[in-house]
Amino acid sequence: MKLSRAEEELMNHLWALKKAFMKDLLDAYPDPKPAATTVSTLLKRMQEKDFVGYSTLGNLREYFPKVSKESYFSSHIKGLIKNFFDDSPAQFASFFAKKVDLSESELQEIKSLIDDELNRKN
């Protein structure tokens, strides 16, 4: 399942905070801050999508992510590769290496990461 852009922004705040009350989430936004009702609506939708949970402390809710940022991002990338690169990670890597303006040092760093992963699998 996918989050909307507004939900992703809120989720990024929640991932950074790990757990948060409504006030904490509102404080995490830059000015102009969204209305509390907007954040409340987003949280409700994200709970329905099973991305966010909460525990009750008195009459307050403390929200927490139910999905890790890494897991969400990994799923997002896999969908991107499937839908735009014929389910070929090699096509994605080729596009990324050629079309994203990477410096030589960034390319070397990526190459080193790939080499390390190849060594780990051997």
Q: Please state, rounded to an integer, the average pLDDT across all residues of the chain.
A: 93
pLDDT of amino acid 60:
96
Q: How far is the C-alpha of 24 from the C-alpha of 33, rounded, in Å? A: 12
Q: Report which of residues 37 and 98 the model is more confident about.
A: 37
CATH of domain 5-65: 1.10.10.10
Strand, helix or coil for residue 58: coil
pTM for the whole structure:
0.78
